[in-house]
Amino acid sequence: DRQVLGRAISPREVMLEERIGEGQFGDVHKGTLYPGTRDEVSVAIKTCKPDASHEGRVKFLEEAAVMKKFDHPHIIKLFGVVSHERQTCIVMELAPLGQLRRYLLSEGSRISKLLLLQYIHQMSSAMVHLEAKSYVHRDIAARNVLVTTPEVVKLADFGLSRGLQDGNYYVASRGKLPIKWMAPESINFRRFTGLSDVWMFGVCCWEIMMRGVKPFVGIKNDEVISKIELGERLPLPADTPAPLFSLMNRCWSYEPEKRPYFRDIEATVADVLEEERQLESL
């Protein structure tokens, strides 16, 4: 159990501070791990409501089991879990600047195009890591990208992630789904694969280039799917280099097998970034 969930942390070793977010199972707080010691560190603590059932707590802790599998500079790290009669929580790396979407909205044009491309490149490298480990995230969106410093973003929220057994795909059972970010086969057949993550990554790129605007605002979920079926796609955001928009559109190929893999996406984004850096320095 321990090995799966990371280090066991006793309730005495964490200090809960202000609330910084709200999750599906309970509040997220800023906090301190090992307060008063040399190892003291600021953390984010995802809590599970104390009235949750045993089954609910097990589901809640699945996210920690997923996070434990990754070790990447652009994926939020797990410190461990507190699993005690009265307290169940996940202790993880803190992203002091919060959700990327909110950050983009508040900073506006103070964030350069080059920095937006850097965020996209960092996310693509995180996705290469997931792809290599055969994990599907299923909820890639700018609201699930967190900002640690103005130059560094990290992928978070592994609450919907699932491991795929060799070439298999995951069929979601039920629950609220982020339709406007989802690939058509995910909407129609609840089919989630690495290639449906690729579609979602394209939407997340769009949100980043749009500096935090949500996709398909003012359009109903069932209208979105009709538009997608008819071949309509999100429009070109201002300032987006042509090769990047072309890559986004390949991520939105109706047929999953026509979409690129993350290793190709990462390489293309790296080229776009390099090209823009050179243009900038002219």
H helices of 148-234, in order, are 184-189, 194-209, 221-229
Q: β-strands 78-83, 88-93: how paired?
A: antiparallel
Among 98, 134, 172, 184, binds ligand ATP (CB under 6 A): 98
The residues pairing with 99 across neighbouring beta strands, listed in sequence order, are 146
Among 65, 76, 81, 247, binds ligand ATP (CB under 6 A): 76
CA pair distance 242, 236, nearest whole angstrom: 9
The residues pairing with 42 across neighbouring beta strands, listed in sequence order, are 32
For the CB of residue 90, give the shortest distance to ligand ATP in the complex, in Å: 9
Which residue, 157 or 266, is less far from ligand ATP as judged by CB? 157
Assess whether 271 carries a catalytic annotation: no
Instruction: Print the binding letters for residues 3-42 with ligand ATP: x by CB under 6 A, - otherwise.
Output: -----------------xxxxxx--x--------------
Which residue, 60 or 252, is less far from ligand ATP as judged by CB? 60
**Of the residues 1, 51, 71, 139, which is catalytic?**
139
CA neighbor of 73 nearest in space, from 132, 7, 123: 123
Long-range contacts of residues 228-235, Cβ cutoff 8 Å, at least 24 apart: 228/184, 228/187, 228/254, 229/184, 234/203, 234/206
Among 127, 156, 209, 247, binds ligand ATP (CB under 6 A): 156
CA pair distance 215, 224, nearest whole angstrom: 10
**Burial (CB count within 10 angstroms: exposed 0-12, middle 13-18, buried 19+), residue 189:** exposed
Would you count residue 157 as binding ligand ATP (CB under 6 A)? yes
Which residue, 95 or 265, is less far from ligand ATP as judged by CB? 95
Would you count residue 152 as binding ligand ATP (CB under 6 A)? no
CA-based radius of gyration for the chain: 19
Tokens coding 170:
């995951």
Among 32, 83, 88, 99, binds ligand ATP (CB under 6 A): 99
Would you count residue 100 as binding ligand ATP (CB under 6 A)? no
Cβ pair 149, 93 in contact under 8 A: no
For the CB of residue 228, give the shortest distance to ligand ATP in the complex, in Å: 23
Helix (H, G, I), strand (E, B) or coil at 265: helix
Among 66, 95, 200, 269, binds ligand ATP (CB under 6 A): 95
Would you count residue 80 as binding ligand ATP (CB under 6 A)? no
Would you count residue 94 as binding ligand ATP (CB under 6 A)? yes
Cβ pair 6, 55 in contact under 8 A: no
CA pair distance 157, 188, nearest whole angstrom: 24
Among 48, 61, 91, 92, binds ligand ATP (CB under 6 A): 92
Q: β-strands 88-93, 7-8: how paired?
A: unpaired
Q: Which residue is nearest to ligand ATP (CB)?
A: 21
CA pair distance 161, 131, nearest whole angstrom: 12
Q: Which stretch binds ligand ATP (CB under 6 A): 3-11, 79-87, 138-146, 234-242?
A: 138-146
- Applying CB under 6 A, the site for ligand ATP has a residue count of 21
Binding residues for ligand ATP, per CB under 6 A? 20-25, 28, 44, 76, 92-95, 98-99, 143-144, 146, 156-157, 159
Query: What are the catalytic residues?
Result: 139
